[in-house]
């Protein structure tokens, strides 16, 4: 089973999104947290692989896991027995801002 490493910037993005959704509609932030946690659990268990990012960044090994209910992707790099979470990225806000965190 791979080990997950979550960059602090990615963890902060997730927490900010969860807080925002919870303020918009009580309970929705908790649902986002559950969705995020379930996806991380599946990545760690090896039951989800995600897909390669398009373009050169994908050829460098960066993957994404698109969440179903929320407009976010988990951006990560699988390397050996470690999966590094680079970002919890919104689909339409600041595309590619996280690229400096990758390879």
Question: Any idea which architecture 3-91 has in CATH?
Answer: 2-Layer Sandwich (3.30)
pLDDT digits 0-9 by tens, 31-90: 999 999 999 999 988 877 789 988 898 899 999 999 989 999 999 999 888 999 999 999
In the predicted structure, residue 95 carries a pLDDT above the cut 80: no
Global pTM? 0.91
Nearest residue to 45 (alpha-carbon basis) of 3, 1, 98, 97: 1
User: What 3-state DSSP class applies to 83?
Assistant: strand
**Across 1-9, average pLDDT:** 92
Quote the CA–CA distance of 95 and 87 in Å, as a whole number: 11
* Gap between the Cα atoms of 82 and 15, Å rounded: 22
What pLDDT is attached to residue 103? 72
| Under 8 Å between Cβ of 62 and 51 | no
CA atoms within a 13 Å half-sphere pointing along the CA-CB vector of 5: 11
Provide the residue ranges of all domains of the chain, joining segments of one domain with +: 3-91
């Amino acid at each position: 089973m791979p080990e997950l490493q979550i960059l602090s910037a990615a963890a902060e993005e997730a927490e900010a999104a969860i807080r925002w959704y919870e303020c918009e509609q009580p309970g929705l932030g908790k649902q986002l947290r559950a969705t995020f946690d379930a996806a991380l659990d599946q990545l760690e268990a090896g039951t989800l692989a995600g897909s390669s990012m398009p373009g050169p960044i994908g050829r460098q090994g960066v993957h994404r896991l698109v969440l179903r209910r929320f407009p976010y992707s988990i951006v990560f790099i699988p390397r050996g027995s470690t999966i590094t979470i680079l970002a919890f990225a919104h689909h339409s806000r600041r595309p590619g801002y996280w690229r400096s965190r990758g390879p």
